[in-house]
């Protein structure tokens, strides 16, 4: 609800204090990108940051001082758009390189995508940087090719091992187990449950309880589907789901009008992540940042130096 009230409040004030609010948004987003990069780098190199494991390998990422893991990669993807709109070439290239490094440190699929897109943004803007990047990667690969190749195989096997268990299991990364537990724990032949699902949904706590019971996990570790649209549908019902998706459609349509091709691709990937792996709609960090970015880029703020 916080992002919703923030959206309404900014929308109301934007009509009267556009210049001041846009400057405040610039400072807020600038502070956020600095804190995100600082948190990841300090956490990783000081050893105080939290590690991210669970890939079935001994390779672990580091999320710095953030609580969530997937949210960090999504946050870096959103802030890429803000960095791309900065007027200073020096600050922009420094932050893009920092995002490249941070994405590799975090080492989730979403953060690695952020690193790749940061590199693409750099290559598309700066021809001279392209040469040095290619030279650096060539030298690095020349000296450490065997280690890089070995670690790449281990990481790929650990990250995408679900591919051997079917496309659904691969795409939803273990969430198929949650789905099976929930569907086997609810009697959908009951008219009461169908009416409940249509109008009200089952509620987040009930969904999490059914899943926890189905896969026999402790109550303290219970979870919903962690796929935003499934969570919305089964927790709040079909009516609310249709209303919410309609609002999301209008929001994304207006947001796209102020974006360039690569930026639209970034937002599209965030939406895909929301469907398959969650941590977007249900993450205050992500949704609040998206709302701030929406108003910062409103009024079609495209300029000649932004074309990418």
pLDDT band of residue 308 (cuts 50, 70, 90) is very low
**What pLDDT does 62 receive?**
86
Distant-in-sequence, close-in-space partners of 255: CB < 8 Å, separation ≥ 6: 267, 294, 297
What are residue 273's DSSP bridge partners?
Answer: none
Write phi, then psi, for 61 (nearest 5 degrees).
-90, 180
Q: How far is CA 143 from CA 26, 101, 153, in A?
A: 42, 19, 18
Question: Residue 83 pLDDT > 90, yes or no?
Answer: yes
Question: Residue 306 pLDDT > 50, yes or no?
Answer: no
Question: Residue 265 pLDDT > 80, yes or no?
Answer: yes
- Could you report how far apart the first and last alpha carbons of the chain are, in Å? 34
Return the higher-pLDDT residue of 292 and 6. Answer: 292
Of 263, 281, 265, 280, which Cα lies nearest the Cα of 80? 263
Tokens of residue 307, six digits: 């074309």
Write phi, then psi, for 51 (nearest 5 degrees).
-85, 155
128-159 as b/e: b if 16+ CB within 10 A: eeeeebeeeeeeeeeeeeeeeeeeeeeeeeeb
What's the mean pLDDT when you consider all of the chain?
Answer: 80
Helix, strand or coil, per DSSP, at residue 61: strand
Question: Residue 208 pLDDT > 60, yes or no?
Answer: yes
**What pLDDT does 79 receive?**
93
139-184: pLDDT as tens digits = 666 665 565 555 565 555 555 555 555 555 656 666 777 888 888 8
What dihedral do alpha carbons 152, 155, 156, 157 form, nearest 10°? Answer: 120
Question: Residue 260 pLDDT > 80, yes or no?
Answer: yes
Return the higher-pLDDT residue of 15 and 206. Answer: 206
Handedness of CA 195, 201, 205, 208 (dihedral sign): positive
Helix, strand or coil, per DSSP, at residue 150: helix
What are residue 62's DSSP bridge partners?
Answer: 51
- Which burial class, exposed, middle or buried, applies to 219 when counting CB atoms under 10 A from its CB (0-12, 13-18, 19+)? exposed
Element (H, E) at 209: helix 204-215
**What pLDDT does 17 receive?**
74
Residue with tokens 């402790």: 218
pTM above threshold 0.75: yes
23-59: pLDDT as tens digits = 888 999 999 999 999 999 999 889 888 887 655 455 6
The answer for 201, left when phi > 0, alpha when psi is -120 to 50, beta otherwise, is left
Greatest mean pLDDT range, 75-79, 248-252, 272-276: 75-79
Question: Residue 199 pLDDT > 70, yes or no?
Answer: yes
**What pLDDT does 300 receive?**
45
94-135: pLDDT as tens digits = 999 899 999 988 888 888 889 989 988 888 777 666 666 666
């Amino acid at each position: 609800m916080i992002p919703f009230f923030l959206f309404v409040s900014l929308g109301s004030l934007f009509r009267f204090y556009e210049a001041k609010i846009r400057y405040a948004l610039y400072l807020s987003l600038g502070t956020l990108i600095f804190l995100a990069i600082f948190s990841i780098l300090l956490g990783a190199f000081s050893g105080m940051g939290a590690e991210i494991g669970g890939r079935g390998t001994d390779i672990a990422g580091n999320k710095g001082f953030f609580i969530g893991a997937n949210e960090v990669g999504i946050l870096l993807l959103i802030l890429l758009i803000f960095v791309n709109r900065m007027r200073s070439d020096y600050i922009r290239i420094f932050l893009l390189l920092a995002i490249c490094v941070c994405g590799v440190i975090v080492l989730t699929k979403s953060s690695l995508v952020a690193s790749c897109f940061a590199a693409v943004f750099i290559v598309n803007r700066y021809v001279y940087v392209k040469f040095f990047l290619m030279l650096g990667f060539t030298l690095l690969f020349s000296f450490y090719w065997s280690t890089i190749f070995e670690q790449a195989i281990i990481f790929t096997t650990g990250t995408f091992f679900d591919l051997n268990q079917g496309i659904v299991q691969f795409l939803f990364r273990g969430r198929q187990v949650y789905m099976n537990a929930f569907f086997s724990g609810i009697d959908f032949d009951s008219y009461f449950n169908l009416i409940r699902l249509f109008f009200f949904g089952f509620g987040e706590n009930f969904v999490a309880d059914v899943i926890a019971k189905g896969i026999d996990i402790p109550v303290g570790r219970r979870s919903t589907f962690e796929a935003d649209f499934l969570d919305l549908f089964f927790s709040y019902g079909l009516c609310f789901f249709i209303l919410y998706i309609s609002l999301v459609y209008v929001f994304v349509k207006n947001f796209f009008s102020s974006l360039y091709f690569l930026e639209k691709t970034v937002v599209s990937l965030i939406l895909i992540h929301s469907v398959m792996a969650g941590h977007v709609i249900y993450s205050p960090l992500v949704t609040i940042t998206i709302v701030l970015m929406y108003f910062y880029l409103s009024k079609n703020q495209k300029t000649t130096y932004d074309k990418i």
